[in-house]
Amino acid sequence: MRYGTSISQLARQIVSLRNQQRLLAALHRNLSRKRLPPLLDKKAWVARLRLAGMNERAMARGHAEFERRAPDEHEQFLASRGIPPDEIAGIRSWSQSPRN
């Protein structure tokens, strides 16, 4: 791999991570102010996260951090996406596991 290629790949990754960080920070700010984002179902929300450059691993880390910092708000947020209670319980359970 050429030197210039690896630098440009790294720059794209940094931009993607910064976008993800901004998205999650805005979500946390809105939730702390009790202002939920406009209702999007689970499918639309995941599509939006993917457009922001998040993959499965990044989304899992986001859930884990949300659960750690604001467990009640995390549950409310998941419910606002139209996710059924049994699926919410599963998401919250693996979000609390040490691997996340």
Write the DSSP symbol of residue 70: -
Taking the CA atoms of 9, 65, 36 and 80 in sequence, report the sign of the dihedral they define: positive
Query: Under a CB-based contact definition with an 8 Å cutoff, are residues 58 and 20 in contact?
Result: yes
Length of the chain in terms of residues written: 100
pLDDT value, residue 86: 95
pLDDT value, residue 35: 58
Q: Tens of pLDDT along the chain (100 residues)?
A: 455 568 888 888 888 888 888 888 887 777 766 655 556 788 888 998 898 888 999 999 899 989 988 999 999 889 888 889 999 999 999 898 876 5
pLDDT value, residue 90: 94
pLDDT value, residue 1: 45
Q: Which sequence spans correspond to the domains of the chain?
A: 3-95
Q: Centre a 10 Å sphere on the Cβ of residue 54 and count the other Cβ atoms it contains.
A: 21
